[in-house]
Amino acid sequence: MGTMAVFTLHGQRERQLTAKGLEAQRPGALGALLANAQGRWWLVAPLSGGLAALALPPLGWPPLLWLALAGLWGLVESAPPLPAGLLWGLAAIGVSHRWLLGLHPLDWIGVPAPLSLPLCLLLLLVCALAAGIGVACWLALARRLRPRSPAGALLLASCWGLAEVALARGPLFWLGLGASALPGDRPLAGLASLGGAGLVAAVQLLIGWGISRCLEAKKPLVWVAITAAIVAASHGLGAGLLAAQPLEQGHSERLLVLQPAIPTREKFTWHQQQLLRARLRAALAEGAERQVASVLLPEGALALPAELAAPAKVELISGGFRVQQRQGEAEQRSALLRFPPGELQPSNWLDKHRLVPLGEWVPLAGLIRWSGLSAVGGLQPGPPSRLLARPAGAIGGAICYELSDGQALARASAAGGRWLLASANLDPYPAMLQHQFAALAQLRAIESGRWLVSAANTGPSLLVNARGQVVAQLPAGRPSSGLFQIEQLSGLSVYDQLGEGPLLLLAALGAGGLLANRLWR
């Protein structure tokens, strides 16, 4: 009987402890609402993905993104990874990259009118599906790890950031979570000078994770404090890094930027070519009169053969095209062409390395004999280096959507680039793309600790200082020119020197924490 009593009391004690444990794990009111919403993952996934897209530039408001990422973290345990990831990616890219529909109509390159809009929609769908597959892979990885633990969250957030950096070197990536801090939150974007856009993305995922834990916990005060600490620490560190970035180092250049505003669909007509050459002559004359160091023209401004009608009195750096002989074959390339004063032809150049798929580069183009969705299709890539040498000091150059690859421009700065030049032709896309381009320009300036000049056909033509502030800008969509005073800088940011080292360190800390937890268990 005594033994029976002992077992009975022990069983009652175990039931009491189990009940207390279940009570402690039961979510509060907000957590219950979130749990009910997560039960409808097929609704939560596209809603949170769409919310994330709205938080990206041109809005650039991170708190909206943090809420969207809290919803994404909630999908890890409540939804099948593949369909949830596809829905999230479709919504995020479908909303944030809808400017792709600005390609329509494509009749100017020979696409029949009935096929034009479906083809543009198909292009947007392909990009969205690619993003959805990436998100699904991340959700599948999160399920195998421990997303509720700080170590697991740190590793997963770091993996996302590293994936954005890797994708930025490929053909399909344009805008990620790392750019969402701009233009609305420069202190948070200041982290880019430490670990690049990948670190900014990872920190925002950690904030979203903290919010999701706040909503799930019965007593969320601890998680509220943790999340607030992450927000405060990231903003404080970013603001400190921005304040420490020097804006002057004793040598400056006066640059004249020409924004010709030539419609792309009419660019190669005789009338528009004559108009462009007239504006170029006027800009070169103005540059000589104002004694500028260089005159800058946007991507693709000079058609073949790329030569001037008369020698210029100042240096000209213009987007254009050139022919490179390689293994007995002539390759056409898009490039930044540098014309020294007094010369008719360029003396050196920087070839575009990252070509736009289906626009400038078409897989198996020689077999299917199709030049793509552009009048300049059939181009070949140049070397990966983004450094353009010039007597007045080397610069780092990005042509069009090469601006999304911050790693390449940081390497150019570390190799001696004194300032950055972003050359682009964003016509016929809507103003939404221009705002995203401007946000990326600000982010690249912060990462590399360099002033940046953007010379674009219809805009944005602007000047950004090394702290990511837009100092000057030309009116979008109108022919104009502007005199920009830029500072040459030689100091290196942490990101210039270490690249993704800080982000890799965070990933290693997360992996080490998970391993330690498993060994302890």
* Residue type, position 323, single letter: V
What CA–CA distances, in Å, run from 298 to 318, 454, 481?
A: 6, 8, 12
d(CA 116, CA 48): 30
Looking at residue 270, what is its pLDDT? 87
Is 120 a residue of the active site? no
| Residue 345, both tokens | 């032809």
* Residue type, position 13, single letter: R
Tell which residue, 283, 367, 267, has the closest CA to residue 321: 267
Residues shown for the chain: 521
Looking at residue 364, what is its pLDDT? 52
Answer whether 0.75 is exceeded by the pTM.
Answer: yes
φ, ψ (nearest 5 deg) of residue 152:
-65, -40
Looking at residue 180, what is its pLDDT? 92
d(CA 18, CA 404): 52
Q: Which of 120, 127, 214, 400 is catalytic?
A: 400
Distance from CA of residue 96 to its chain's centroid?
12
d(CA 194, CA 432): 28
Q: Pairing mode, if any, of strands 348-351 and 387-388? A: unpaired
| For the chain, the helix, strand and coil percentages under 3-state DSSP, each to the nearest 5 | 55, 15, 30
Looking at residue 368, what is its pLDDT? 52
Is 487 a residue of the active site? no
Looking at residue 91, what is its pLDDT? 97
Name the residue ranges covered by the structural domains of the chain.
Answer: 29-244+500-520, 252-492
- All residue ranges of the chain with pLDDT < 50 are 1-35, 367
Tell which residue, 196, 241, 255, 299, has the closest CA to residue 418: 255
Is 352 a residue of the active site? yes
Looking at residue 23, what is its pLDDT? 40
Looking at residue 266, what is its pLDDT? 86
Q: Which of 164, 216, 253, 299 is catalytic?
A: 299
Looking at residue 370, what is its pLDDT? 54
d(CA 23, CA 3): 30
Q: Which of 127, 352, 360, 447 is catalytic?
A: 352
Domain 252-492: assigned CATH number = 3.60.110.10
